[in-house]
């Protein structure tokens, strides 16, 4: 499940817009001079993109795949491996790793990988999606019942009808 050519360029402007939307004005995302220092064992060497901004791009990729199929993106867990800097281009991709069916729905487990313009993994993760199960009954035939003509009921199907259906075993 590629992100349908939805590579995302990490620009200083998009990082700033995410700061405004999230109300997170940490210098980690805004101040290059501040970021030239060391933070314990970490040295990013400059401003980096918010992890939740990346998370949103992965979530969008899964939703863009799931929604047309009537599915719902239910869960996403990620692990950031490398920082994403202004100017980087990232590409989230996903592969359906497993499927499980229950009485009322079907679930898919999706392996997620995000790579940068150098084909380096910058994030990995796992997503879950729920695809609605097929209906428990299937209508085989809809026929009018003799003696109950149209006119006594309101709506698109006027009259009394007999349903013939088969019940599917779960």
- Closest among 92, 85, 96, 97 to 113, alpha carbons compared: 92
Q: Are residues 49 and 122 in the same domain?
A: yes
pLDDT tens string 106-165: 889 999 999 999 999 999 999 998 887 765 445 455 555 555 444 444 444 444 444 444
Report the pLDDT value the prediction gives residue 152, as an integer from 0 to 100. Answer: 43
pLDDT tens string 29-66: 888 888 877 766 677 888 889 888 888 888 888 888 88
Contact 31, 45 (CB under 8 A): no
Q: Are residues 125 and 142 in the same domain?
A: no
Separation of alpha carbons 143 and 1, rounded Å: 43
Q: Are residues 34 and 63 in the same domain?
A: yes
103, pLDDT greater than 90: no
Q: Are residues 118 and 143 in the same domain?
A: no
Separation of alpha carbons 12 and 30, rounded Å: 8
Q: Are residues 163 and 120 in the same domain?
A: no
Separation of alpha carbons 75 and 109, rounded Å: 10
- The residue segments making up the domain with residue 103 are 8-132
Q: Where are the alpha helices (DSSP H) in 40-139?
A: 51-66
80, pLDDT greater than 80: yes
Number of folded domains that form the chain: 2
75, pLDDT greater than 80: yes
101, pLDDT greater than 90: no
Separation of alpha carbons 114 and 91, rounded Å: 5
Has residue 1 been placed in a domain?
no
Has residue 153 been placed in a domain?
yes
What's the whole-model pTM score?
0.68
Torsion of CA 46, 51, 53, 56, to 10 degrees: 160
Beta carbons within 8 Å of 130's beta carbon, 6+ residues apart: 71, 72, 74, 105, 106, 107
Q: Are residues 51 and 29 in the same domain?
A: yes
Strand 121-132 relative to strand 105-115: parallel, antiparallel, unpaired?
antiparallel
Radius of gyration of the chain (CA): 25
Q: Are residues 127 and 143 in the same domain?
A: no
Q: What is the CATH number of the domain that holds 21?
A: 3.10.129.10
Rounded to an integer, the average pLDDT of 92-101 is 90
- State the burial class of residue 110 (Cβ atoms within 10 Å of its Cβ: 0-12, 13-18, 19+): buried
């Amino acid at each position: 499940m590629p992100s349908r050519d939805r590579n995302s360029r990490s620009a200083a402007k998009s990082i700033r817009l995410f700061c405004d939307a999230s109300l997170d004005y940490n210098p980690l995302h805004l101040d290059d001079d501040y970021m030239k220092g060391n933070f314990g064992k970490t040295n990013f060497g400059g401003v980096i993109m918010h992890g939740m901004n990346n998370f949103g791009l992965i979530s969008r990729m899964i939703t863009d795949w799931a929604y047309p199929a009537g599915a719902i993106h239910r869960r996403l867990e990620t692990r950031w491996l490398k920082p994403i800097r202004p100017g980087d281009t990232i590409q989230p991709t996903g592969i359906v790793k497993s499927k499980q069916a229950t009485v009322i729905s079907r679930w898919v487990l999706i392996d997620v990988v995000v790579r940068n313009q150098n084909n380096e993994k910058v994030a990995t993760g796992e997503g879950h999606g729920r695809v609605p199960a097929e209906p428990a009954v299937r209508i085989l035939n809809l026929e009018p019942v003799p003696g109950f003509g149209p006119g006594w009921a309101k709506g698109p199907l006027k009259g009394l009808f007999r349903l013939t259906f088969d019940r599917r075993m779960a």
